[in-house]
Chains A and B, each alone.
Chain A
Amino acid sequence: MKNPIDGRARDWTYMAAFREEDLPVLYDMTRRIQQTHDTSIIEDFNQKCELKLKAGSNEVVSLLSGIHIQSVNKSEDLMVNVGAQQCINIILGTSSTRWRYMHWGTPPDPGLTPNVDDEILENGSILPPSNPIDMSGLLGWREAVGMKLFFGGIRPTSVLDTSSTGGSAATNDDVGEIGVTTTNAAGYTLLNRSKFVKNRPLFNGPGAFGITDDWTNVPNVIIFSVVIEFCPMA
């Protein structure tokens, strides 16, 4: 008897903040992933997030495209049971509904601890078009590499302003949880639940302000990157 081993797939998620002016470069990054399925771009992104976490907030860490990561938060939570069941249904061909949306929520801190029996996010309202993020388009990626699944999504910088035709409104959401889902409506199936309990990067749209490493107030763009690993490689 040594250590307890959990055979459940491992799940970790990065939430990285960028300056708003880097948004075109980030869109170009997701476009290249979508078109070429070049997963080394995703792996570079995740590695740089990890590096930024270890290096600390004062170190400059750049992606392959040259833009700087402003701040990173990481969650190591879990794939939920209904997510594992849907994965098996897809593998066996009894369902063709694949993982398509990145759903985020704004739960209280610390709120509820993620549990394998979770079927929805703690506080993730369905507010199209900003939430959930559709990963099948240019706002994200969905790739399989080896025994891992990669999902990613760019949180847009503004939401549709329903009070003003043709307008958009800034958001000021404190993102605290992430989940990959099948649909963008109530009744979705949840793959995983990742909770960020401390030091959340604030999301801010145009006209609002976020936290950057140099502590100047500029708008932030946030990218969520989820990794599901069924077994590590030697």
Chain B
Amino acid sequence: MDKQTELMLKYGPKDTAYAANWGEKDEPLLRKYFMKAATLGREDNPMIIMFFDQLEHKWNDHIGALEIDGQLFEIVDLAKTEDVPTVQGLQFCCLKIIKSGLSTWRYHGVGSSSLEARAYQQRLFSETEPRADMTGSGGAQGSATRVSQSMRFVGIFAASFATITVRESAVFTNSTGYTSGIMLNRQQFATNPITHSAGVAPFTVATDVNFTPEQRWL
């Protein structure tokens, strides 16, 4: 591993990502859940906290389920990884803290490359587009919020999304390509990727970038 990635893992924000498959009929419920969440604001949103809690619950071999309008729907399959924010992603965050008028983290992308994540990477290596627009359409494609000292991003990918084994994901400022815009982080689901089949069921990719992680022993 290169020195910068090692430094990022040790001293940088802690980046945790989940990729989840949902049931065949869950797409409308999923969208409805996030559209309702969007009405509750973008800071310490209880529905976003619940969403991440259920992802972690599922990861720990319990049932991970959400409820909207009295209907319960469950996570079918889950992948989790802890990878890295990128150097240029953190640089852009610092610039945004000082300077107004810059674009924001808005799009969530997924790909199938199994190349390991590094802090200097600036793209997904086998991306399938389109990216999910996390702040548009009233929450129908996901959300970008703050919970305590974390940025939490969720992208919803429709059942109609092209068939893919989700091995990588990232958050971007731009909707397509790599020649403009910045990639915040790169996640690589090395050993437990989820598989999505077009036309069957939706999937989500969720990222938590924690700026004040608890003390780690490395």
The chain A residues found within 8 Å of chain B, CB to CB, are: 1-10, 79, 81, 84-85, 87-94, 96, 98-99, 116, 142-149, 230-234
Residues of B within 8 A of A233 (CB): 4, 7, 87
Main secondary structure of the interface of B (DSSP, over half): mixed
Q: Are A87 and B99 interface neighbours, CB within 8 A?
A: no
The chain B residues found within 8 Å of chain A, CB to CB, are: 2-4, 6-8, 10-14, 42-43, 85, 87, 90-91, 93-100, 104-105, 144-146, 148-151, 210-218
Cα distance A87–B144 when bound, in Å? 15
Residues of A within 8 A of B10 (CB): 5, 7
With A146-B91, A232-B7 as given contacts, are A84 and B105 in contact (CB-CB < 8 Å)? no
Residues of B within 8 A of A234 (CB): 2-4, 6-7
Cα distance A7–B8 when bound, in Å? 9
For residue A189, give the distance in angstroms from its CB to the closest CB of chain B: 13
Cα distance A206–B108 when bound, in Å? 58
Cα distance A116–B11 when bound, in Å? 17
Residues of B within 8 A of A7 (CB): 10-14, 210-214, 216
With A147-B87, A232-B7 as given contacts, are A4 and B149 in contact (CB-CB < 8 Å)? no
Cα distance A232–B8 when bound, in Å? 8
Q: Are B95 and A144 interface neighbours, CB within 8 A?
A: yes
Q: Of residues B6, B13, B144, which shows the largest number of chain A Cβ atoms within 10 Å of its Cβ?
A: B13
Residues of A within 8 A of B148 (CB): 81, 85
With A5-B11, A7-B210, A89-B43 as given contacts, are A149 and B94 in contact (CB-CB < 8 Å)? yes
Cα distance A94–B148 when bound, in Å? 14
Provide 24 A-B residue pairs closer than 8 Å at the C-beta atoms, listed in order of the A residue: A2-B217, A3-B217, A5-B215, A7-B12, A7-B210, A81-B149, A85-B149, A88-B149, A89-B146, A90-B96, A91-B105, A92-B105, A92-B145, A144-B94, A144-B95, A144-B99, A147-B12, A147-B94, A149-B97, A230-B93, A231-B12, A231-B85, A232-B7, A234-B6
For residue B43, give the distance in angstroms from its CB to the closest CB of chain A: 6
For the complex of A and B, 8 pairs with smallest distance between CB atoms:
A231-B12, A234-B3, A7-B213, A144-B94, A234-B4, A84-B149, A144-B98, A88-B146
Q: Of residues A9, A89, A144, A231, which shows the largest number of chain B Cβ atoms within 10 Å of its Cβ?
A: A231
When C-beta atoms are compared, the residue in chain A nearest to B146 turns out to be: A88
With A233-B4, A233-B7 as given contacts, are A88 and B151 in contact (CB-CB < 8 Å)? yes
Residues of B within 8 A of A90 (CB): 96-97
Cα distance A4–B213 when bound, in Å? 12
Residues of A within 8 A of B100 (CB): 96, 98
